[in-house]
Amino acid sequence: MADFFQTGAIATLHRLNEKSLGQLERELTAYSEHTPMGLVLPCHIRELGTAALKIIVHELKGVAYLRQIVVGIDGATSKRQWRRAKAFFSQLPQKPALLWNDGPRMRALFQKLDDAGLHAGDAGKGRNVWICFGYVLASAKAHIVAVHDCDILTYNRELLARLCYPVAHPSLGFDFCKGYYARVSDKLNGRVMRLLVTPLIRALKTIIGAHSFLMYMDTFRYPLAGEFCLDVDLLRRVRIPHDWALEIGLLAEVLRNCAPRAICQSELCDNYDHKHQEMSPDDADRGLNKMAVDIAKSFFRYMAAEGIKLDTGLFDTLMSTYMRQAEDTLMFYAADAATNGIRYPRHEEENSVDTFVRSIRVAAKSFLDDPLWSALIPNWNRIQSALPLFFDELNEAVRLDSGE
């Protein structure tokens, strides 16, 4: 049973009862007459044929309120792989548009951006989502757009409906919705959120005080959730990180461009499971270690942009404060797991914290070496200003690739 506690800076929309999926979808279908809805699926070629993506496609076949589905395909380096992707997604009745991000036409467009000083970053989820957003704007078929990953093993249509509903509803007044959920199997999952993000935010609050940005970030129940929905007018203005800090960076950009009263988080499902990343404790360029480094750098960049002085002394204090917060967090989760009869591998959790300490140290050094470095891709308003024909060229590239 969900609770109904409101966490503070933004609205929290709970899953208080089993509201009929049919009722939700009927309302969304009615809203779609005036507010066309789209869905972006960032997909890697490795995900084709997986159990998770088969479930997702099966569920999406029954979603009538979507006007548009845009699938960004990463990792398809040959025409054979590209045709395999097209064949797989052709079963969807919504006739999705596929972006061949590694095809020659899209590579030429990314090069054009580089030549204009508008670097879109290296290949990855951030760039994939960003270029899909560009196509949503270029094709002008949707007024709101949702995003979710392609590796959700527990996916069902209710997740998408609860994600779209707050933004699609004509009188609720939300421009952005972030999904949240529990991640529990035989143990507690979501290590980066539990053991890095929350203790890091609270350590920064201990040192800096109740800063509005930190209070806002601490309001989200699962800030690393890959599911969100936003109005296309907001989509034009926000900048998206191309690294592993996509979710954190996007939340910060939304706050810059949107009033808190227009931001909400929605409980999407009882439980959620997807592909789990390796920790890679000895390599700060891989796995959850790399994710932690990028997330910490993102926090430091945003705090600096808010006028907070970040120097060696602050970072030394932060390491000790984070360790204290993380130790308390370990104790809390151990008690939570015991109360619910869930396995709690305390040694693994301790090792994860040790890795995240090293991740924060790497991020701090990187920030001090280059405080102005940013993983943010220019927003689409700037792209249109610099390259007025880019949307036409993007539309044409997708059209021609669909015939390959």
| Architecture category of domain 11-402 in CATH | Alpha-Beta Complex (3.90)
Q: What is the pLDDT of residue 392?
A: 98
Q: Is the pLDDT of residue 168 over 70?
A: yes
Nearest to 399 by CA among 138, 118, 93, 143: 138
* Angle between the N-to-C axes of helices 125-139 and 390-402, in degrees from 0 to 180, rounded to the nearest 10: 100
Map out the domains of the chain as residue ranges: 11-402
Q: Is the pLDDT of residue 68 over 60?
A: yes
> In the structure, what pLDDT confidence band is assigned to residue 271 with cuts at 50, 70 and 90?
confident
Residue 86 or residue 270, greater confidence: 86
pLDDT digits (tens, 9 = 90+) for 218-229: 999 999 999 999
Give the mean model confidence (pLDDT) for residues 357-378: 95
DSSP category for residue 195? I
Q: What is the pLDDT of residue 149?
A: 95
Cα 6-9-11 angle, rounded to 5 deg: 50
Q: What is the pLDDT of residue 2?
A: 62
pTM given for the model:
0.95
H/E segment holding residue 70: strand 66-74
* Angle between the N-to-C axes of helices 287-305 and 198-208, in degrees from 0 to 180, rounded to the nearest 10: 30
Other beta carbons within 10 Å of 402: 13
Q: Is the pLDDT of residue 170 over 80?
A: yes
pLDDT digits (tens, 9 = 90+) for 235-262: 999 999 998 899 999 999 999 999 999 9
H/E segment holding residue 266: strand 263-267
Give the mean model confidence (pLDDT) for residues 137-146: 98
Average per-residue pLDDT for the chain: 94
Strand partners, 176: 230, 263
Determine contact, residues 192/295, Cβ cutoff 8 Å: yes
